[in-house]
Chain A
Amino acid sequence: MKKIAPLEQARIDLLRRERERKRKARARSSHARKKFSATYIETIQRAPNIRLAEDASIELALPQQFSFERNHADTQQAINQLRMAVLEARQKVTVDFRDVEYVGVAAALVLTSEIVRCLAIRTGDSKSVMGTYPQSPVANKILTDIGFYRALGVRPLESDEDNAPVADNLYIGMKSFLKADPDMISSFSEMFLAAFPHLDLVARQRLQGAIVEALSNSFEHAFQTRGDFRAFGRRAWLSGYVNTEKNEFMMMVFDHGAGIPRTIEPKLTERAWALLRGGLTPSDGDLISAATTLSRTSTDEPNRGKGFLTMKRFVDACDDGELRVFSNRGHYLYKKGNRSVAPDQNNSLGGTLIQWRITHHAGSIEVESDE
């Protein structure tokens, strides 16, 4: 028997270990695909709002109230179904708006970002996501005004202008961006500030600064860890509206990052509180709530998490307002001096959606200083 030199034996052992490592990696990958397939069967094939079309594509019927505020569970479920069908099962999907009577701006924003992501990842198939127009003129008007059709490059459905519902809000459209460009942020802040033509110089500067802060912080937390689903680039989406009669604006930012709950390490007290409530770990909503305090951010460094604090301060300082954060399964709401955390949803948003609304009639805004 041929004697193998020690160096050669070491090389053989190394190759053997490498082959074993690759074999185990393939087995894990195969197991993961099977896991998604089982989830897919539950989420897609057995869902009451899914219909298999004649060409084997999927018709995904959106709920009548397609809105996070009015119908969180079904709205989120529908968006997740789209993602799963297109990206995991590689099926063609028709997003069916026919029965939709109301569209929330935030829901439309998240849906738009998901469709754009699906089409970008499935670059070889431009028809992987199609859609139908809503029959409701209200829903159609909302989709047109918020820029849904424009963002997707789809021809809007022409409506009878005489009978079209009057839009109370002036929507700013939907934009995506890869970094906090001050010039673009400034143009958006100018749009938002149009709701408050009566603001004095200092108030305008403070609100402009707050908007820059809010948008910049959305990037700081967006992509620090890999999300559950594939993302393309460090991209965030911005939308919102202005209502000059009410002196109100709402700003919405959405990203497909890992989500706030996955970037915050729960403290011992939070774990203990979770145990008292029958859970093993704090809920996503509780972790979002923790993240909105100054001392808790994904970097866990003091003075780093000023974005949420700034938004909350303006909610308190203005006549009315709210900060609403959806991240993964959690939902957190802050109104003047009051916060609430909803029970976690069954489905994950797959990212973070921040909604910040301000209503203010006076010329000045007295915000607490950072002391």
Chain B
Amino acid sequence: MSKVARISVAKDFAPRPGPRYKHQGPHSGQTFRESVLAPFLDQNEMLVVDLDGTAGYGSSFIDEAFGGLVRMGYDKEDLLRRIEVISKEDPILAKDAIQAIRDADPKQNSQ
């Protein structure tokens, strides 16, 4: 397992993040979590996610992408230790992403 990986949402996923779920349309938070976040987490010890450079995020995208990891079965405390979310453009957005992990209920099933 590699030590640290860096992901740019704009470059590694989509410059225009979409809705919450796959069935709502492309570039969803669910797709980002399943196809990018989770695989990178499984292959690396630490993950740095850069939110800059996109057209903007719906709050549901952020909640499903990051909070959805807990609902998917990842341990909350382990995620908080291993994931760093950064945004120079909007630091509040990075805080929202971490808060989504903190607020997520592991007993709820993810889609």
Contact = CB atoms under 8 A, between A and B. Distances in A.
Contacts of A182: 14, 16-19, 25-27
A215 B90 CA distance: 22
Interface in A149-185: 179-183, 185
B60 A179 contact: no
B25 A369 contact: no
B56 A204 contact: yes
Contacts of B16: 182-183, 186
Nearest to A368: B92
Given A179-B24, A180-B18, A201-B89, A370 B99 contact: yes
A302 interface: yes
B95 interface: yes
Given A182-B16, A371-B95, A217 B56 contact: no
B58 A209 contact: yes
The binding surface of chain B is classed by DSSP as: loop
A186 B55 contact: yes
B76 to A, nearest CB: 15
B17 A212 contact: yes
A202 interface: yes
A303 B67 contact: yes
The binding surface of chain A is classed by DSSP as: helix
B95 A205 contact: no
A216 B96 contact: no
Contact of B24 (A216, A301, A369, A370): A216
Contact of B59 (A302, A370, A371): A370
A207 interface: yes
A172 to B, nearest CB: 18
A210 interface: yes
Interface in B68-106: 89-90, 92, 95-96, 99-100, 103-105
Contacts of B63: 303, 306, 370
Interface in B8-26: 14, 16-21, 23-26
A206 interface: yes
B99 A179 contact: no
Given A182-B26, A370-B99, A302 B105 contact: yes
Contacts of A301: 108
Given A179-B24, A180-B18, A180-B25, A212 B89 contact: no
Residue from B55, B99, B104 with most neighbouring chain A CB atoms (10 Å): B55
B89 A205 contact: yes
Contacts of A369: 92, 95-96, 99
Given A179-B25, A182-B25, A303-B103, A216 B18 contact: yes
Nearest to A178: B25
A137 interface: no
Interface string A351-371: 000000000000000000111
Interface string B45-70: 00000000011111111010001000
Contacts of A371: 95-96, 99
Nearest to B103: A303
Contacts of A330: none
Interface of B: 14, 16-21, 23-27, 54-61, 63, 67, 89-90, 92, 95-96, 99-100, 103-105, 108
In the A-B complex, list the 10 residue pairs whose CB atoms are closest, starting with the nearest: A208-B56, A216-B19, A213-B58, A209-B56, A205-B56, A180-B25, A182-B18, A212-B58, A180-B19, A182-B16
16 contacts: A182-B26, A189-B56, A205-B90, A209-B61, A212-B18, A212-B56, A213-B58, A216-B18, A216-B25, A220-B19, A302-B103, A304-B60, A306-B59, A307-B60, A310-B58, A371-B95
Given A182-B27, A207-B56, A216-B18, 9 more contacts: A179-B25, A182-B17, A182-B19, A205-B57, A208-B55, A212-B17, A212-B19, A304-B60, A369-B92
